[in-house]
Structure 1
Amino acid sequence: MAARKVQVYLPEERVAQLETILAKHSRRFWRETVPGGQEKYTCVVQQRYTERLLDELESAFADEPDFTAHVELLQAVLPPVEENSETELLLAGDIKPPTALERFFIRDRLSTDEIYDDIEESLHISTSYLLTVTLSAIIAGLGMRSEQTAVVIGAMVIAPLLGPTMGMALAATVGNRQLGWQAFRTMVVGCVLAILAGWVLGLIVDIDPQVPELFNRTLVQPDDVALALACGAAGVLAFSRGVSSALVGVMIAVALVPPLAASGLYLGAGYPAEGADALFLFAVNLVCVNIAGIATFLFQGLPPKSWRLTGSVLAMWALLLLLLVSMMAGSLLLDIGELKLALP
């Protein structure tokens, strides 16, 4: 992912401004006249310059009704477009040079628009999404019931909640309220459906509530917090670099799908306390994944539209995590106290 091909369509009277912008962000661009009174410019852009080029194009031409920009991944370029300090373009006076930390984190990241396009497709409540959530929950529930870890992993690979989870983190990072609401709505529908699927399964089959693969989803330990934080960070890192969604799904679904399926399974089988504990684990994991996701997006240089909004959302998630961790600590202390009273 060393380079992108960016195609821009504009009326002829705006090409002078466009050429000035392209010269700041690309080494090669060429012009072509197309039907409809427009000019088409195609340029080869290094990966690290794609974000700032798209930002400046949007700022300059957002009010132009005939403006269109396309971004495509280039598998190979001859002569090659190298990603190193020697190939850096000279910065114009209105472009702030990136720090060493920013350059390190954004050098192989997809642009914000590319990440948005990848995520946006999975935020629609479609028939496919509903079926995928249902099947994933059933697979996870049956796998935990029969202690078949490989089956549970199968539910993780399906990863129906991957898109909404990443969408919520991305929306909070860049301050996109519409994207955040859409991701939240899709997440809620998916969670309710997963619990219902597990509940129906619990009504049909007999379960042993002490089966380790299932019972472990009712326990919330400090290492579960660390696991969820790692899942969120790893998921964003892989997603923002275009890694296969199946791999990302393994990292994310391990913290989300099994607890939901376990909660429904316990509720359907008549174990409400265990069902609530599994739901509590899901809540801890969801909060941690979002905190780690937002932080990782910020470290990668995604530009927030409003630091106040992004900071407020991050603070809200942090307060929720603090509350949940306090409840977890209180439960652990209560269990220890009951154990001491039970000892002779």
Structure 2
Amino acid sequence: MRLVQVTIPAGKRETVLGTLDDEGIDYVVTDETSGREYTGVVYFPLPDNAVEPILDELQELGLEEQSYTVVVDAQTVVSRQFDELEERYSTDDTDEERISRQELHTEAENMTPTFPVYVAMTLISAIVATAGLLLDSPAVVVGSMVIAPLIGPALAASVGTVTDDDEMFWGGLKYQAFGLGLAIAGAAVFAWLLKTANIVPPGIELSSIGEISERFTPDLLLLAVALGAGVAGVLALSTGISVALVGVMIAAALIPPAAAAGIAIAWGLVMETVGATVLVLVNAVSVNLAGVATLWYTGYRPRNWFETDDAHRKMLRNVAAFAAVVLVLSVFLGGVTYSTYQTSVAQQEIRNSAQETLEEAQYEQFTLLELQSSTGQGVTYDQGSIVGINQGITQVTVTVGYENDPDRAALADVLAQRINETVQQDVTVEVRFIEVERRQVG
């Protein structure tokens, strides 16, 4: 429930109080004696879902331009008339819990910090995320998400769309674009400094670091994280629930991929830079798309009917633009996902082929000890545009144990031939032999 405070302009006192009486609302009026253009201040409690329609009705009387309104939380209201009002406005859907459009607008504005604070917090979160990725530390990466200030601009763009506030919409988009660009640049500079100072070992294999490799070759399933974050963020904001934890989820979709892109830039890895950057873009757009769709679905609209029509057109335009970008980038992610699947299948087929070869009678003196495969990346183009990253097997290392000094060269040739036939491409096959000695104890 909310306690609403409204200043009454001169000449509007009877109209305002008459409206509240018609709605059956308890109120208290105090006279304004400051000599300004106000004649009084009226206080009245409202159920959460009654705030928006009552304020809209009062604003239609001209109060918005001539006075100010304050809405605060109220813990308890003891009044039979309030109980009747609460019952009259009660519903069985999400409208029962959502805050008013006016409160939503204010909350969205207040969630974006001042520009200097936004810049500082974004840089800090990007640097912490970069350190966490290089350390392969999930805990440090999560810590970077907690301090990221990206939820405010993301939700501001969504709220600005459905309430027909162009200034809020474009401001949110600009903040997001600047913040993500700053995060990538900050991560790149920090990673380059670590590399130059040899704080990170020069020969480190970035693709072997789990926290980094999953952002270098993004999977289509990661799209669900961004969409879920957008929906959850809007629901938390519109129902008055703390958005702190949801902000972590939105940051999870944006900050680690941005840091991964910065690391790839610092190491001069072109394909990995493309993969991580695409993940940043598709996640950012998905958060906005999910936010706009959820707000419109939960019933938020501009105040006036003619503004609603205009907002509806803008909402459809923005949703169409967001969806088109997500669709195009999802083709890229889908290509990466399919390529990863093919690589996994090929790796299993290579292992099966090597195992079946060593199980043949002429190779009974050999035992498969270990099989490793290295992968490389290449770009897939369609009419001059990048549509995906191919991840293929480039080298296979087979470690074989042997007894009684058999002909090892012949086996190496056979394994190389059969592995190349299995993957249907030329790959480098390295066969390592280790002499084993079997002894029976007891």
TM-score normalised to the size of structure 1? Answer: 0.87
Q: Who is 1:342 aligned against?
A: 425
Contact 2:125–2:147 (Cα < 8 Å) also in 1: yes
> Would you say 1:316 and 2:399 are equivalent positions?
no
> Would you say 1:20 and 2:18 are equivalent positions?
yes
Q: Who is 1:54 aligned against?
A: 55
Question: Could you tell which deviates more after superposition, 275-284 or 216-225?
Answer: 216-225
Query: Which structure features the higher share of strand residues?
Result: 2
Q: Choose from 3, 6, 25 the match for 1:5.
A: 3
Q: Who is 2:357 aligned against?
A: none
Structure 1 residues 208 and 238 mapped into 2: Cα distance closer, same or farther (>3 Å)? Answer: farther
Contact 2:3–2:74 (Cα < 8 Å) also in 1: yes
1:89-146 deviation per Cα after TM superposition (whole angstroms, max 9, x unaligned):
5xxxxxxxx9x6xx51221112122122222134355221111001101111111111
Report how far residue 43 of structure 1 moved: 0.7
Report how far residue 58 of structure 1 moved: 2.2
1:255-296 deviation per Cα after TM superposition (whole angstroms, max 9, x unaligned):
111111111121112223212211101111112111211111
Report how far residue 17 of structure 1 moved: 1.8
- Whole-Å separation in 2 of the counterparts to 1:214 and 1:26: 60
- For the residue of structure 2 that corresponds to 1:342, the secondary structure is coil
- Whole-Å separation in 1 of the counterparts to 2:4 and 2:283: 38
Contact 2:285–2:326 (Cα < 8 Å) also in 1: yes
- Whole-Å separation in 1 of the counterparts to 2:232 and 2:272: 29
Report how far residue 189 of structure 1 moved: 1.8
- Whole-Å separation in 2 of the counterparts to 1:343 and 1:85: 77
Task: Name the aligned partner's letter for residue 76 of structure 1.
Answer: T
Contact 2:45–2:82 (Cα < 8 Å) also in 1: no
- For the residue of structure 1 that corresponds to 2:72, the secondary structure is strand
Q: Choose from 108, 118, 122 the match for 1:119.
A: 108
Q: Who is 1:181 aligned against?
A: 170
1:50-76 deviation per Cα after TM superposition (whole angstroms, max 9, x unaligned):
1112222222215743x2111111122
- Whole-Å separation in 2 of the counterparts to 1:7 and 1:138: 45
Structure 1 residues 219 and 43 mapped into 2: Cα distance closer, same or farther (>3 Å)? Answer: same
Report how far residue 82 of structure 1 moved: 7.7
Question: Could you tell which deviates more after superposition, 279-288 or 112-121?
Answer: 112-121
Contact 1:139–1:154 (Cα < 8 Å) also in 2: yes
> Would you say 1:199 and 2:188 are equivalent positions?
yes
Report how far residue 46 of structure 1 moved: 0.7
- Whole-Å separation in 2 of the counterparts to 1:108 and 1:213: 38
Q: Who is 2:239 aligned against?
A: 241
Report how far residue 245 of structure 1 moved: 3.4
Contact 1:46–1:83 (Cα < 8 Å) also in 2: no
Q: Choose from 300, 306, 330 the match for 1:325.
A: 330
Q: Who is 1:77 aligned against?
A: 77
> Would you say 1:218 and 2:216 are equivalent positions?
yes
- Whole-Å separation in 2 of the counterparts to 1:25 and 1:201: 60
> Bigger relative contact order, structure 1 or 2, given CA contacts below 8 A and separation 6+?
1
Identity of aligned residues (%): 29
- Whole-Å separation in 2 of the counterparts to 1:236 and 1:132: 22
Task: Name the aligned partner's letter for residue 41 of structure 2.
Answer: K
- For the residue of structure 2 that corresponds to 1:40, the secondary structure is strand
Contact 1:25–1:45 (Cα < 8 Å) also in 2: no
Q: Who is 1:34 aligned against?
A: 32
- Whole-Å separation in 2 of the counterparts to 1:46 and 1:300: 18
1:19-54 deviation per Cα after TM superposition (whole angstroms, max 9, x unaligned):
233235563112110123421111111111011122
Report how far residue 327 of structure 1 moved: 2.6
Report how far residue 7 of structure 1 moved: 0.9
Query: Which structure features the higher share of helix residues?
Result: 1
TM-score normalised to the size of structure 2? Answer: 0.69
1:196-252 deviation per Cα after TM superposition (whole angstroms, max 9, x unaligned):
110112112236411111111123323112221111111111122232232121221
- Whole-Å separation in 2 of the counterparts to 1:279 and 1:84: 55
Contact 1:134–1:194 (Cα < 8 Å) also in 2: yes
Structure 1 residues 317 and 23 mapped into 2: Cα distance closer, same or farther (>3 Å)? Answer: farther
Structure 1 residues 14 and 192 mapped into 2: Cα distance closer, same or farther (>3 Å)? Answer: same
- Whole-Å separation in 2 of the counterparts to 1:196 and 1:86: 52
Aligned-residue RMSD, C-alpha = 2.5
Q: Who is 2:149 aligned against?
A: 160
> Would you say 1:307 and 2:296 are equivalent positions?
no
Contact 2:25–2:85 (Cα < 8 Å) also in 1: no
Q: Who is 1:43 aligned against?
A: 44
Q: Who is 1:137 aligned against?
A: 126
Question: Could you tell which deviates more after superposition, 200-209 or 257-266?
Answer: 200-209
> Would you say 1:264 and 2:347 are equivalent positions?
no
Q: Who is 1:297 aligned against?
A: 295
Contact 1:228–1:255 (Cα < 8 Å) also in 2: yes
Task: Name the aligned partner's letter for residue 329 of structure 1.
Answer: G
Aligned residues: 330
Report how far residue 81 of structure 1 moved: 8.7
- Which ranges of structure 1 fall in alignment gaps of 5 or more residues? 90-97
